[in-house]
Amino acid sequence: MTKALFAIVAFFVVGLVGAAFAVTDEAPISGTVKAIDHSANILTLQTTAKGTTRDVTILLKPDSKIVKFARATEPGKTGFVEQPLTPSDLKPGWAVSVTTKHEVGKEVAEVVTVILEK
């Protein structure tokens, strides 16, 4: 009986921890583009969290989406439209926000949003 109860509790704990990690993986990371290694498809971001500045390396996969927003130029439209970019468009110094997923010890970019081009 006790063992079964422990098994249930362990199941919940593992589930909770797993869920927490799954959620945090989806939290966006904002920072400044420090470097882009086009051969390895690695984006290095300088980001600050909890008062500590650190470099975060993010893998850009072919299905990683890179976008910026610009004013619609079509007559009658005033909102923003999403413009797709390629990794080669990214420049050091740009401010970006990246949603990532965690894959085998690496941060893999899902969407890279350009906040400010400098």
Partner 1 sequence: MLASPFRFLAVAVFVLVVGLCATRPPAGRAYGDKDKHEEKGGHAHVPAPTQYADIHVPLSVWTDAAMIARGKEIYTTRCAVCHGDGGDGKGPAGLALPLKPPDFRDKDGVAEMRDNYWFWRVSEGGQVEPFKGKGSAMPPWEGQLSVEERWAVMAYQHTFSGHQGPHVPWEHPESVAMGRDIYAMACVMCHGVAGKGDGSVGPMLSPRRAPQPRDFTSAEFKFRSTPSGQLPTTADLFCTVTEGVRSSGGPMTIGLQGHRIMPSFRYMPEAQRLEVIEYVKSLNRGFWERREIKTVAVPAAPPVTPERLSRGKQLYADAECLACHGERGRGDGPSAPTLKDNRNLPIAATDLTKPERFKNGARPEDVYRTLMTGLAGTPMPSYADSLEPDQAWDLVFYVLSLSRGGRTSAAGTR
Q: How far is the CB of 78 from partner 1 (least distance, A)?
A: 7
Q: Check binding of 49 to partner 1 (CB under 8 A).
A: yes
- Size, binding site for partner 1 by CB under 8 A: 42
Q: Check binding of 104 to partner 1 (CB under 8 A).
A: no
Q: Check binding of 43 to partner 1 (CB under 8 A).
A: no
Contact 58, 109 (CB under 8 A): yes
Site string for partner 1, 81-100 (x = CB under 8 A): -x------------x-x-x-
The total of other beta-carbon atoms located within 10 Å of residue 29's CB is: 16
Q: What type of residue is 35?
A: A
Q: For tokens 């086009």, what's the residue?
A: 38
Pick the piece of the chain touching partner 1 (CB under 8 A) from 2-10, 35-43, 84-92. 2-10
Q: How far is the CB of 37 from partner 1 (least distance, A)?
A: 21
CA nearest neighbour of 117 among 96, 87, 88: 96
Those residues whose C-beta lies under 8 Å from the C-beta of residue 97, and which sit 6 or more positions away, are 28, 29, 30, 112, 113, 115
CA nearest neighbour of 90 among 40, 42, 25, 29: 42
Which residues contact partner 1 (rule: CB under 8 A)?
1-2, 5-6, 8-9, 12-13, 16, 19-20, 23-25, 27-31, 47-53, 56, 68-69, 71, 78-80, 82, 95, 97, 99, 111, 113-116
